Amino acid sequence: MDQALDKAIKVFSERGFHASSISDLTQAMELASGSVYKAFKDKRAIFIAAFDRYKSVRNAQLDANISQGITGREQLEHALRFYANSAQGEQGILGCLVVSGTTELLTFDDEIALKLKLSLAASENMLKALILRGKEDDSIASTVNEEIVGTAILCMTQGMRVVGKTGRSSQEMQSVVDAALKMLG
């Protein structure tokens, strides 16, 4: 099932929810229509399962990247480079399920809206915690306001995923990370 959901993630990320048909999904998932409807009630249920899978995989990847750093600043830099790598080349063009879901579904579906809001809040809290950790270990200037800068960096990372759909290079996305790190003193 995870392999089928990974294929559905790709369809939803590339096309968005509304432009993805059941036919697109069944073909990509390599399942017969009957099997899809047996496993999922409708396209919305496929999206929710795909979103949950996407967040689980991405969070594990992000955590692995963050753990490579020792100081709060290094951990934050690893997180930002993870986002930058996701926003360039083929993966950047593919897009982000959180961004596409937010732009398409936030005002139309309360359950999905809650999932999206919680996902973004968790990302923002993680960024703020890494900044605070850096302030505590003196790798980030004590004058940095983790609330404001954390929110600014969240906006930057999500914006990177939008801009990445246009086919940005690794160098362009890494330059954005370098600029963000300057906010940390």
> Taking Cα atoms as reference points, which of 157, 123, 140 lies closest to residue 74?
140
Are 47 and 21 spatial neighbours (Cβ–Cβ below 8 Å)?
no
Position of tokens 């968005």?
Answer: 16
What integer pLDDT is reported at residue 142 of this predicted model?
A: 96
What integer pLDDT is reported at residue 68 of this predicted model?
A: 98
What integer pLDDT is reported at residue 119 of this predicted model?
A: 96
What integer pLDDT is reported at residue 37 of this predicted model?
A: 80
DSSP 3-state of 34: helix
State the 10-residue block means of pLDDT for the chain, 185 residues long: 93 92 92 83 94 97 98 98 94 91 90 95 98 98 97 96 93 95 91
